[in-house]
Structures are given as structure tokens and as C-alpha cells.
Structure 1
Amino acid sequence: MFTLKETASSSLSLPADNYIYSLVPSAAGTFATISSDDSLRVFDAANLDRVAVVSPKAHDGGVTSLRSYAAGESQLLATGGREGRVKLWDVRAGKTVMEVETTRNAPVLSIACNPETNTIVAGTELLSSQAVVAFWDIRSPQAPRLQYVESHNDDVTELQYHPTRNNILLSGSTDGLVNIYDTTVTDEDDALVQVINHGSVHHAGFLSESTIFALSHDEQFSIHPATNPDDPGQEPEPVDFDDLREPLGVEYVVQVCMGGQGPYIAAGNKLDKRLDLVPLVSSPSWKFDQDNLWRLPGAHGDEVVRSVYLDEQSQSVFTCGEDGFVRVWKPDGDDSQAQAGSTKTSRKEKKPKDRFRPY
């Protein structure tokens, strides 16, 4: 086990008793957050007190989701809201540059961005017996260019594009399904290339080009090989980890984080006031490498951590949570903390920076 120590923290000048939902990278050296006061803020990664309020109220009905939209030299941010709108923000100008509406103003719960195809996707709450995955081309956003309206029968909580294939989109829902679509196909039935039945989806996504994960709202976790379109008879066998709380010694799972060394499970324990980043390794088979986990002691106190980002540029871990703070963490240089409970080895072997990096 290795230890990270907190090196900075800030409330981002939020009003008291607010908490931070999510943080994502913005322009170089900056991050963006959405919070329970419905504001959209950006802050300097090197100086958390340098904060700009892009909008004090990003959405009238309440902001629900935040994603980066990097397009060449422009750094835009996309947000979704409960009033059924998706907005694209120019951070430097502090204003929206595009705004679209869902059908019947269905609340937006999830969004995904694909700048290479000029696309923003929104997943909606179930409204009038319909949950929609809607696509807009930002060059002509007057109406959705594509909608999938039958693939989910409950709230769409997750959307993510494939890491290398711009035509492949993943969606997850509280109906228990994770769907994989070929978005070049307009017929909804034909567009579905894989359906995974997991349980009410909190998060889902791609661990690699050929591997999918699913995390439920009750901390059930599974890994699935992606269907090979060239082998339609293939029946991928999942690796089911069941409930992660007991085996990892945690109370809740935040998300899966992707780092330079591979994926990590970010999981917290409020009673012990800690957050762990547990490596997920695939060789020889998928398992959690708890001997090499990174621990963030203190975490966000007895409040839930809501979002984690592993930042390679600053070699830091950024977290935000229901205590209303953003916190920055770096490896603890104390060799005695580098590998708890292990047999003593040389100083060189025990240095966490030499052995393992989360970013």
C-alpha cells in the first residue's frame, strides 16, 4: 500500500453548505466543476484560489452533468440540466455558444462529447414512458440528427464514446442495461451491437478498446469483453465481482479512474475517513491489486467523495465531494509509508515514485 498526502484544498468560494458534484479538465492547467448551487466554475490546478465563475446558474432547473469538449485551440465545456437543455460553454468568454433542447424537455442526466464528429449526446430521465439517447451535430443544432428512443425503459445515467472508434457509443441506465451502439446506423434495433444486463447502472464505460465495465448503484461490479462484430456468434463471458464493499473494505464506490498504469477503482470509507485507489489488473485474469493500492487518508472527512481525476500533467490526484471542497493529493515522500505491512527492503525499492504511479 502507498499513501498520498493532501497538498491543497479549496471551497472555490462556494456558498456555505454546498457540495461539488463533478470535476473535469478544462483548458491547459485548469479544471471545471459543477456544484449544488448550480454554478459552473473553473479553477487553476496550481492555485486553487484562482477561481472564475463561468455561470452562477448554469441551468435553471439544476445542473446534472459536465464534460469537456476540446476542439482544436478552443476549450469548451458541455453541461446538461434538469430543464431539458444541453449547453456548450466558451470558458474564456463566460457564455454559451450553443444550446439545445430534448424532446418534451426531458431532464438530461448524462452527456458525452465527440469533437471529431462535432457531436454532443444526451441521455434523459424517463418521461412519458420514454428515455431517450439524443445526438446533435453542433454545426446544425436546431434538431437532433439521431435519437434512440426504445433501447432503455428507465433513466439513462451514463454515456461514453469508445476510446478509438468514433461511431461506437455506450449507454447505461437504471433499467439495468448497458447498450453498445454503432451510431452510423439509424435503425435503432440494427444499431445495437451488444446489450449487457448488469443492474441499475451508476457508471459504465470502456476499460480498453475491447473491454467494458459496469458499476451498479448498489456497488455491484463486472467486466465484459466487447462483442466482436466479425464474430456474431460470440457469447462473451463476464467477470462478475459482485458487491465490492466487503472485499475492498469500503462503504461506497465513486468511479473507475483511468491512469497511465491502467484502471483504478476509487472507493471510499466514511467511517475511516479515507479514499482508496485500487489498481485493476488484467493479467493473468482480472483482479484487484490491493497490495499496490493508493490510500488518501482523511479523504473528505465523513462526507462522500463525488469525483476523482488522475492528472498526469501535475502528477496529482484531484478530488471533490459533499464537504464542498476540491482537494489535491500527491505521493507521500516518507519511505516508511510507501509499503505498509511489507517486509523491509532497500530504500530504492520502497520509494513509491520509483515503484508505482497512479497517474
Structure 2
Amino acid sequence: MANNIVNTISNPLNCDNSSYELAEQRLFSLNSKIYPLKFKANEVNLEANLSNVLITTSAENVLKCIDVNTLVVMAVLTGHNDIVTDACFTKTNPFIAWSSGLDGTVRCWDLRTNLNEITLQSLDEDKLLSVSLSLDDQLISSGSESIEHDEEGTKANLYIWDIKMKDYYQVYTDVYAESIDHVVFHPNSKNLLLSGCRDGLVYLFDVRENQNEACQYVLNTEAGISKIHFFDSKLNNIYCITDEGNIFLWESTEGNELCKYLKTTLGKDIDDVIDCFYDEKSEKLLAAVGNEKGEVKILTLNENGGYTPVLSLQNGHQTDVRAIYCNFANEKIITSCEDGMISLWKPNLCQTREN
């Protein structure tokens, strides 16, 4: 296991004069759940004023569109009546984005006009925690916060809407006992939906089926889930990061475990696993890990459960980084953290991966 960082990057487009300060958009807590600032990027170059857009969620019930090259706020999207919990871009139209919120709605935004074009409502104003679009942008899914039922304990609902019909496609009401913090449609299959719950369970569904037949398998991390997604060149595998900082890898066909990485084995001075990314050039899964000093390290995860250090990001933040976006092709990394700042890093990733 390597001990030396291959490359150390300091002083990004720095917080003092160039980073965008997200006033009152730091981590915030509601109903015992921590909602970090989230962001999703769209780097399709179609129009100068809409290319390279980053969308951030906000504690102020709005979304902000930020230029990923300058971190300048380009637009503010208003319409949610409560905290915005997640956002995503469509795959067929780069001008369209969607968001979910604790107001019980999933909303569609046209970035050319900054208007809320479609609003989909949950049952009984369920608080919605995440959002994902199917491969063809015909279906959109969201998971709800669990609520107490008098005789049945807690339950959460999984929603799938038909966007064209603006109506429910499926609502799974009797599957989940705890809040559904994450939903992810398979990037290559419009019918497969991955979901992660606060009780540590990960479900894979075929959404064409009713709730008694839809579940393909259930995986158990025995801890709350921080991130889940499909990865590798054919998207045949799944990674899951738990709230405890452990990483699980499964193959997606049968859900067989491939490997597990404990936070305690990912190096010294590590407080959190921020996210994972698949690098198509090296065909490896990378993990971004951080500490309370605001330092971030990017590691290549090896198949034997070990790791190889790749990058160290320093002097950009003063406390824990909670979200990270990496674009290896464009040599770009963006981080946000509890200090309320977004920082843009431009490391020489190609050279680093060749070392």
C-alpha cells in the first residue's frame, strides 16, 4: 500500500477572492437528518450562458445555477416552499433540471427562462429527499421521509412518476420502514432503480412491476447510507458509502459483494468518505476522503481492498468537505464544505494518473 501522495494541490481558485461564499447554505439539520449542500453539474456546451452549469441545493428553499469555471451565480430558481434536498439534469435536454424538496414536490426547471415548468406532488405532502431520472427521461423517481403510522410503525414511500402523463407510474407504499435517502436510475436501463435507506438497506427494483414483484434483491450495509451509485465501464457494479465511512462494492446482477473498504483502512487522519468516482482512463474506482481540517485526498481503490493515493487537495477549506464534483476529462474538481464555501481546483489529473 503506497504511503506517499503522488501530487499535492494547494490554493485553488481560493476562498478569499474567487470562491463563491454560500451564505446560510452550510450543513443544516432537520428531523435528525443532516442535509449537506448538494450539487450536480451539466457541462454540455450548447450556449455560452448555459454551458458548464453547476446547480446547488440550498437551505433557503432555492436552487442556484453557478458557472463551474468562475463560480459566479448565473441564476436563482425559486418555487419550493421548503428545503431543497436534491437536483439532477435531464439526459435528453441540457436546459432542463429537476429538484426535490421537503415541501413534498418534485419540480422541473427550464434554465433558459429559470421558470418552474412542471410540479409533481407526493401523497399527503410526503417530504421528498432525493430525485433521479430514467435513461430516456420519461420517468422520475423520489423517496420520502418516513412517517409514523399508528398501528404499522414507520413507513416511507417510493414514488415514480410518468413525466409525460404528469401522473403516478408506480407508488411503493409497503416496502420501506425507514426514510429513502437516495434513488438512482440505472444509467443504461430505464427500468432498474436503486434506492438506499436510513436503516442501511439497499434495494434494486424493476419499476415495470408492482411492489410485490418489483424488488430484485436487498443488500444490507447495517449503517445509514451516504451515497450509492452504479459504476465501471459497463455500469455493472454498485458502490455504497455508509454514514460510518465504509465502502461496499457489489456486482449489480445478483448483488454479490465484490469488496469492502473500512474507513479505518483508508489512511491516517481520515474523518469522512466524501464520494466515489469511476475513472474511465484507468478503469478504476476512486474515493475522495477528507478530515476536519478541510483536507481532501483522492485514492484509487484496489481490488484487494487496499488503495493507492492519487491527489491531495489542501488549503482550500477550514473544516469538513461534504460534497465533491470531479471531471477528469476537463481537469476540474469542485468542493463544498461546512465553511460555506465552494472551491474550484484545477490539478493536472492526466499527468497525475500517468505517474
Q: Give the TM-score category using the shorter length.
A: 0.7 to 0.9
CA distance, structure 2, for counterparts of residue 145 and residue 248 of structure 1: 45
Deviates more, 1:82-91 or 1:57-66: 57-66
- In 1, are the aligned partners of 2:135 and 2:189 still within 8 Å (CA)? no
Extract unaligned runs of 5+ from structure 1: 229-234, 333-351
- The answer for the alignment partner of 1:44 in structure 2 is 67
> Which of 90, 100, 103 is equivalent to 1:69?
90
> Which of 273, 276, 291 is equivalent to 1:269?
291
- In 2, are the aligned partners of 1:173 and 1:201 still within 8 Å (CA)? yes
CA 17–155 in structure 1, closer or farther in 2 if over 3 Å, else same: closer
CA 18–240 in structure 1, closer or farther in 2 if over 3 Å, else same: closer
CA distance, structure 2, for counterparts of residue 17 and residue 241 of structure 1: 31
- Give, in angstroms, the shift of residue 110 of structure 1: 1.1
SS at match of 1:294: strand
Which aligned pairs between 1:188-207 and structure 2 lie closer than 5 A? 188-199=211-222, 200-207=224-231
- In 2, are the aligned partners of 1:66 and 1:77 still within 8 Å (CA)? yes
- The answer for the alignment partner of 2:32 in structure 1 is none
CA 76–288 in structure 1, closer or farther in 2 if over 3 Å, else same: farther
CA distance, structure 2, for counterparts of residue 218 and residue 267 of structure 1: 12
- In 1, are the aligned partners of 2:86 and 2:131 still within 8 Å (CA)? yes
1:215 correspondence with 2:250? no
- The answer for the alignment partner of 2:305 in structure 1 is 287
Alignment length (residue pairs): 321
- In 2, are the aligned partners of 1:194 and 1:227 still within 8 Å (CA)? no
- In 2, are the aligned partners of 1:8 and 1:48 still within 8 Å (CA)? no
> Which of 92, 95, 99 is equivalent to 2:119?
99
1:231-280 CA distance string (max 9 Å, x none): xxxx82442323x1453320011122233333221111114x31111112
SS at match of 1:171: strand
- Give, in angstroms, the shift of residue 198 of structure 1: 1.0
- The answer for the alignment partner of 2:331 in structure 1 is 315
CA distance, structure 2, for counterparts of residue 164 and residue 33 of structure 1: 25
1:259 correspondence with 2:279? yes
CA distance, structure 1, for counterparts of residue 25 and residue 324 of structure 2: 21
- The answer for the alignment partner of 1:134 in structure 2 is 159
1:297 correspondence with 2:314? yes
> Which of 252, 255, 261 is equivalent to 1:241?
261
SS at match of 1:151: strand
> Which of 128, 135, 142 is equivalent to 1:108?
128
1:183-212 CA distance string (max 9 Å, x none): 122x22321111101122221221233212
CA distance, structure 2, for counterparts of residue 110 and residue 166 of structure 1: 18
Q: Which letter does structure 1 place at the counterpart of 2:58?
A: S
Q: Which letter does structure 2 place at the counterpart of 1:198?
A: T
CA distance, structure 2, for counterparts of residue 132 and residue 160 of structure 1: 15
CA distance, structure 1, for counterparts of residue 310 and residue 328 of structure 2: 18
- Give, in angstroms, the shift of residue 312 of structure 1: 4.0
Extract unaligned runs of 5+ from structure 2: 28-35, 43-49, 149-153
CA distance, structure 1, for counterparts of residue 317 and residue 287 of structure 2: 17
CA distance, structure 2, for counterparts of residue 357 and residue 253 of structure 1: 24
Q: Which letter does structure 1 place at the counterpart of 2:295?
A: R
How many percent of aligned residue pairs carry the same amino acid?
21
- Give, in angstroms, the shift of residue 99 of structure 1: 0.5
- If the length of structure 2 is used for normalisation, what is the TM-score? 0.82
SS at match of 1:354: helix
- The structure with the largest helix share of the pair is 1
Whichever of the two has the greater Rg, that structure is 1
CA 258–247 in structure 1, closer or farther in 2 if over 3 Å, else same: closer
- In 2, are the aligned partners of 1:135 and 1:145 still within 8 Å (CA)? yes
